Structure 1
Amino acid sequence: MLVLLAYYVTRMAKRNSDGDGEMDLGFAIMHFGRAFPNEAIRELHSTVDGGAVFLRLHDDKTGIMRSHSRHYTCHLIKPGRVRVAPLDNPKGFSAEFMDAPSNNGDFVFRTEADAAEVSLWLLGNYLATADKEEAAEPLA
């Protein structure tokens, strides 16, 4: 037991001293999987600072795992419950989560392609709501 504790403390100290802010993507997968065990992860992209990981899930759902100092939050984004706005930096965007305001912020990715792909996931999530509303309207 003492050996496991020493390993854990050493690993956390190394992780904190690296300084690159990189979140372990394996950890993100495991943590999100524990929070939402019925959601299959298809793809993920982390921000440059490692403060957030966006996850594309089965059925074209989207999730976010966000670092908040010493803990992480996992959020399954409901259709139509996020607003995205462009930043001056083409590698990022600003997002407002109506169901989880603590996740609001600016998100910058390694490449423009990553930012575009994640924003398309969020747009697809938003359009899913519009399709449902349109289908619910009676035909004339």
Structure 2
Amino acid sequence: MFGCLVAGRLVQTDAVQLAPDKFLFNLSDYENVNHVVVFMLGTVPFPAGMGGAVYFSFPDPASGGPVWQLLGFITNDKPSAIFKISGLKAGEDVGQSVQLHLFLCCVAGPDAAKPHRDFYSFQLHSQVV
């Protein structure tokens, strides 16, 4: 349903489905990643009024728990997006791998190309790492 592309690498279509509405891409060698593209494969559309919130996740060096950074969203009307992730963790050791999470959520509003106000208040559950 989704793909992920880092410049200079092969397309990743191996999203791990954590739940019916939660998907995960592992990004290795984060230090050499500047931008990432997240896109729909075109095989399965989002249900009407739904979209995908894209989050960047990395371990907190102090607590070991996940730190979440909202990158943006994709929808049927906006099926791909490029996100800059370099510098989100500048100066800190995040290890060799970080994660991109895609959460399905409601985006229905007057303009389906723009997220509904509830889209960005979508609650994340820390056990989804």
Q: TM-score, normalised by structure 1?
A: 0.25
Q: Which has the higher strand share?
A: 2
Q: Which has the higher contact order (CA 8 A, sep 6+)?
A: 2
Q: Which has the larger radius of gyration?
A: 1
Q: TM-score, normalised by structure 2?
A: 0.27
